Amino acid sequence: MSKQQAQILYNQIKLDIQENKLPIGQALKQEMLSQRYNISRIPIRDVLQRLKNEGWLTTCGKRGVMIPMLNATEAEDLYLMRKYLEPLILEYAIPNINQQVIGKATDYLHIIDSQEELSIEEHGELNWQFHSCLYEQANRPTLFSTIASLHQLCGRYIGYHNQQLNYLKTSQQDHYNILKAIENKNTEHAKNLLETHISDAGKTLVRFLLAESKNEN
């Protein structure tokens, strides 16, 4: 289970970034992290590199990495890409979505509905489970992994504001509508609903980030 050690570390650091438990905007010292997580620098380096490649960290000066500040332009880009790519993969998926898949997706929505005490991370995770169980039917690994990566990065922004949690809750009806359109094999309608769904979420988020940056000044 040695590989899992690094895997746990990866998840832990990512969570700590998401929950703002690590300093933003300044260089992260390997030694410091090594002590904090009680592990040698080698796995730390591995994880830092991985997170850097995934966009959770950016280079800080000539050497080292740092946690980038939340940025409205980045958020807008992420949702913009999702808006274009997710309807695309859904189109490939729809012909392969049978009733079993519909059922599985419905179950995820029911879980979201039933559980009142979901943390924002849990909610985001269930949200992704719903979307991905549809997308994976497309059998498009490359397209899928790009979309999955964009989702992951959005997670950092979703975790930031409770307002986003409210949005997630109100958008549940969208999910049911999308599922209904898929069940009816109404591909164009499903794509349009999904595009609007993503676009709206993006707009809500960007509005918040802009408002916040105004407050800081």
Contact status, residue 90 vs residue 134, Cβ threshold 8 Å: yes
Phi-psi category of residue 179: left, alpha or beta, with phi > 0 → left and psi -120 to 50 → alpha: alpha
Check residue 214 for interaction with DNA (CB under 7 A): no
Buried b (16+ CB within 10 A) or exposed e, 80-117: ebbbebbbbbbeebbeebeeebbeebbebbeebeeeee
Check residue 45 for interaction with DNA (CB under 7 A): yes
Whichever of 33 and 90 has its CB closer to DNA, that residue is: 33
For residue 9, CA distances in Å to 3, 190, 209 come to 10, 39, 29
List 25, 61, 103, 141, residue binding DNA (CB under 7 A)? 61
* Dist CA 119 CA 159 (whole Å): 9
How many other CB atoms are there within 10 angstroms of residue 122's CB atom?
13
For the bound state, the minimum distance from the C-beta of residue 65 to DNA, rounded and expressed in Å, comes to 8
Selection from DNA, a copy of itself, none that 28 binds (CB < 5 to 8 A by kind) is DNA
List 50, 104, 123, 161, residue binding a copy of itself (CB under 8 A)? 50
Q: Which stretch binds DNA (CB under 7 A): 23-31, 78-86, 93-101, 190-198?
A: 23-31
Check residue 42 for interaction with a copy of itself (CB under 8 A): yes
| Count of all residues that appear for the chain in the document | 217
Check residue 6 for interaction with DNA (CB under 7 A): yes
List 3, 25, 99, 142, residue binding DNA (CB under 7 A)? 3
Query: Residue 51 has which token pair?
Result: 């997170």
For the bound state, the minimum distance from the C-beta of residue 188 to a copy of itself, rounded and expressed in Å, comes to 17
Check residue 117 for interaction with DNA (CB under 7 A): no
List 1, 3, 4, 217, residue binding a copy of itself (CB under 8 A)? 3
